[in-house]
């Protein structure tokens, strides 16, 4: 995650102070750790969607922790307590970068899994519990963590090869297209379904079905907000990678690349926004977090 090519244009490099990274890392780690604990402690949250949310929060927590550790290494190296070219420091830096790559990929695939889960919930509601069993959910999470861990290692080992960077960018954009297509299809069908309900006479409407449909659509809207936040936070960084490959020496491209630290700060702040979205949009999770923070005795809190 280091900017290996120096800015050779007249645009001054934008430097984000280390305290900003430390603040983002500390707050986002605390938020996501609380989400993971909340999902584990509350049996009402032991469902596929919340398992995927827990996975997303765990990836965010790892990213926050490792990014904070990387900033600490930079501070110690700047004051002379660490040798930037030392073998142990280089190995530790590679391990941190691998964890960061794993966490960023895992966050993306977790959101993709949540989107697919919401799609099944809305349009295959009667078969949902047969399709999304906890065993399948565990298998999906195992695949996500294994694949992302392997890709995180491979991307750092071979990141100097342009092919790896190209694959990373292509993977990002293909995933964006898949999620966007899924959402367009989902909301088109939802619009058709809403029109059918509105066309029914008042006596023929099933209020329970309408309430469940409204709850599912609210869940889909929450995932849409998560996806929009991801796009806003991640796009500048991936555009930065595209610029490195397409025009590495162009002065205008160099001006954009001078914003590298700002792009990294925006990327890491994604872990800061997601827990706030959960807490605001999901009542059960919000209630659990409130009990954890405000009640001294969990069992006495209702």
Q: What distance in Å separates the CA atoms of residue 183 and residue 221, rounded to the nearest whole number? A: 10
Other Cβ atoms closer than 10 A to 208:
7
Q: Is residue 83 part of a domain?
A: yes
What would the pLDDT profile of 214-251 be if each residue is shown by its tens digit? 666 666 677 778 888 888 888 888 888 888 888 877 77
Of 229, 234, 237, 272, the C-alpha closest to 23 is 272
What is the structure's pLDDT at 3? Answer: 45
Q: Is residue 181 part of a domain?
A: yes
Domain of residue 37: give its range.
18-198+214-300
Burial class, 110, CB count within 10 angstroms (exposed 0-12 / middle 13-18 / buried 19+) = buried
Q: How far is CA 217 from CA 89, 123, 298, in A?
A: 49, 11, 31
Domain at 165, CATH number: 1.20.1070.10
Where does the pLDDT of residue 283 fall: very low under 50, low under 70, confident under 90, or very high at 90 and above?
confident
Q: What distance in Å separates the CA atoms of residue 208 and residue 101, rounded to the nearest whole number? A: 44
Of 105, 23, 91, 19, the C-alpha closest to 62 is 105
Where does the pLDDT of residue 144 fall: very low under 50, low under 70, confident under 90, or very high at 90 and above?
very high
**Alpha-carbon torsion 105, 106, 112, 116, what sign?**
positive
Where does the pLDDT of residue 210 fall: very low under 50, low under 70, confident under 90, or very high at 90 and above?
low
Q: Is residue 146 part of a domain?
A: yes
| Rounded average pLDDT over 7-35 | 84
Residue 153, C-beta contacts closer than 8 angstroms, at least 6 positions apart: 98, 102
What would the pLDDT profile of 77-119 be if each residue is shown by its tens digit? 878 777 777 777 788 888 888 898 899 889 889 988 988 888 8
Of 106, 104, 105, 97, the C-alpha closest to 153 is 97
Tokens standing for 64? 């926050």
Q: Is residue 172 part of a domain?
A: yes
Answer yes or no: is pLDDT of 182 > 70.
Answer: yes
What is the structure's pLDDT at 58? Answer: 95
Q: What distance in Å separates the CA atoms of residue 186 and residue 223, rounded to the nearest whole number? A: 12
Q: Is residue 48 part of a domain?
A: yes
Is the distance from CB of 233 to CB of 273 less than 8 angstroms? yes
Q: How many domains does the chain have?
A: 1
Is the distance from CB of 56 to CB of 114 less than 8 angstroms? yes
What is the structure's pLDDT at 201? Answer: 63
Tokens standing for 147? 């694949």
> How far does Cα 249 stand from its chain's mean position?
32
Answer yes or no: is pLDDT of 213 > 70.
Answer: no
What would the pLDDT profile of 46-61 be if each residue is shown by its tens digit? 999 899 999 999 999 9
Three-state secondary structure call for residue 269: coil
Whole-structure pTM value: 0.82
What is the structure's pLDDT at 139? Answer: 96
| Rounded average pLDDT over 267-286 | 85
Q: What distance in Å separates the CA atoms of residue 171 and residue 177, rounded to the nearest whole number? A: 10
Q: Is residue 289 part of a domain?
A: yes
Is the distance from CB of 134 to CB of 45 less than 8 angstroms? no
Q: How far is CA 85 from CA 46, 76, 159, in A?
A: 46, 13, 18
Q: Is residue 95 part of a domain?
A: yes
Q: What distance in Å separates the CA atoms of residue 188 and residue 193, rounded to the nearest whole number? A: 9
Where does the pLDDT of residue 5 fall: very low under 50, low under 70, confident under 90, or very high at 90 and above?
very low
Q: Is residue 3 part of a domain?
A: no
CA angle 175, 179, 181 (to 5 degrees): 115
């Amino acid at each position: 995650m280091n900017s290996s090519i120096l800015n050779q244009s007249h645009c001054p490099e934008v430097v984000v102070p280390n305290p900003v990274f430390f603040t983002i890392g500390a707050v986002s780690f605390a938020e996501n750790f609380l989400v993971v604990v909340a999902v584990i402690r509350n049996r009402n949250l032991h469902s596929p969607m919340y398992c995927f949310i827990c996975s997303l929060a765990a990836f965010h927590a790892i990213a926050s922790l490792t990014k904070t550790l990387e900033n600490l290494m930079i501070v110690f190296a700047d004051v002379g307590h660490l040798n930037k070219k030392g073998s142990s420091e280089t190995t530790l830096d590679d391990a941190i970068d691998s964890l960061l790559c794993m966490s960023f990929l895992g966050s993306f695939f977790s959101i993709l899994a949540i989107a697919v889960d919401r799609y099944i919930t809305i349009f295959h509601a009667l078969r949902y519990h047969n399709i999304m069993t906890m065993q399948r959910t565990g298998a999906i999470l195992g695949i996500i963590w294994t694949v992302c861990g392997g890709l995180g290692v491979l991307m750092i080992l071979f990141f100097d090869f342009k092919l790896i960077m190209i694959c990373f960018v292509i993977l990002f954009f293909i995933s964006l297209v898949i999620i966007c297509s899924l959402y367009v299809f989902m909301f088109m069908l939802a619009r058709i379904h809403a029109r059918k309900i509105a066309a029914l006479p008042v006596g023929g409407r099933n209020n329970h079905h309408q309430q469940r449909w409204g709850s599912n659509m609210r869940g889909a809207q929450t995932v849409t907000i998560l996806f929009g936040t991801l796009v806003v936070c991640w796009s500048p960084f991936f555009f930065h990678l595209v610029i490195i490959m397409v025009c590495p020496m162009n002065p205008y491209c160099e001006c954009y690349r001078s914003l590298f630290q700002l792009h990294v700060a925006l990327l890491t702040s994604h872990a800061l926004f997601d827990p706030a979205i959960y807490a605001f949009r999901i009542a059960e999770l919000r209630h659990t977090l409130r009990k954890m923070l405000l009640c001294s005795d969990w069992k006495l809190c209702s």
